[in-house]
Amino acid sequence: MVRCPKCGKDNPDKQRFCFWCKAGLLGAEVPAIGGYEYIEVRAGAQPSEKPSKGPGIPWVKIIAVLSVVALVGAGAYLLISRKGDEGAGGGEGTQQQAGPPPAYPGASPLGTATGLSGGWSAKPYSTSASASTIKSWYATQMSGWTKVVDTTRNVSYLGQSHTVHIIAYTKGDDAMVAQIIESTSYGNMLWLMYGPKAGLSEIITLAETGL
């Protein structure tokens, strides 16, 4: 039997409220319902503690899994980016394209670039500068390039004598050839040629003919 603390009447052991005055019985058993502990709250009173819930959501495990996924994703991105840079920038044994060489600033274009064999192109310029001046200018401008040819030839064309100066530079897989023609009859001309290093010998042979 459970005695009511308010009216002093006796009640059965499992009685939660006094049969006589309806007051809560402190000694009554409190059943657990659906994983929640039943807490009696009398009118006008505040519960001493909140109901305790069953097993909570494992937030720590969720955060740990998300962190691992983020790290794996970041690592994969860096690996792909690195491989992309190696493919674009050239890994070991691969050279980046150097780009077209600069044109001598004292020369005037005579037309558009023309295509040559082996992926080479050529563009003609007229100039009043001497061959030595042009060659000196290129010597200061071709940083990172290697001079591989510097020759001078006398060529006869249409009954006229011409002095032909040829300089060639290479950088990686690229090459450039500057052909400077000095002529007393036609004035000076500069042919600027650019293309793959593999075809350089053929272009040098072509340039040596003079025109």
pLDDT in tens, 159-202: 777 889 999 999 999 999 999 988 766 678 898 999 999 999 98
Q: What is residue 25's predicted lDDT score, i.e. its pLDDT?
A: 75
The answer to whether residue 167 sits within a structural domain is yes
The answer to whether residue 146 sits within a structural domain is yes
Q: What is residue 2's predicted lDDT score, i.e. its pLDDT?
A: 78
Q: What is residue 62's predicted lDDT score, i.e. its pLDDT?
A: 66
The answer to whether residue 133 sits within a structural domain is yes
Q: What is residue 4's predicted lDDT score, i.e. its pLDDT?
A: 84
Yes or no: say if 171 and 97 are a contact pair by the CB < 8 Å rule.
no
Counting as low any pLDDT under 70, the low residues of the chain are 22, 26-99, 157-158, 184-186, 210-211
Q: What is residue 157's predicted lDDT score, i.e. its pLDDT?
A: 67
Domain match, 33 and 114 both: no
Q: How many domains, in total, are found in the chain? A: 2
The answer to whether residue 97 sits within a structural domain is no
Yes or no: say if 152 and 178 are a contact pair by the CB < 8 Å rule.
no
Helix H or strand E encompassing 84: helix 59-89
Amino acid letter at 140? T
Yes or no: say if 38 and 52 are a contact pair by the CB < 8 Å rule.
no
The answer to whether residue 36 sits within a structural domain is yes
> How far is 107 from 129, CA to CA, in rounded Å?
8
Q: Which domain holds residue 129?
A: 107-208
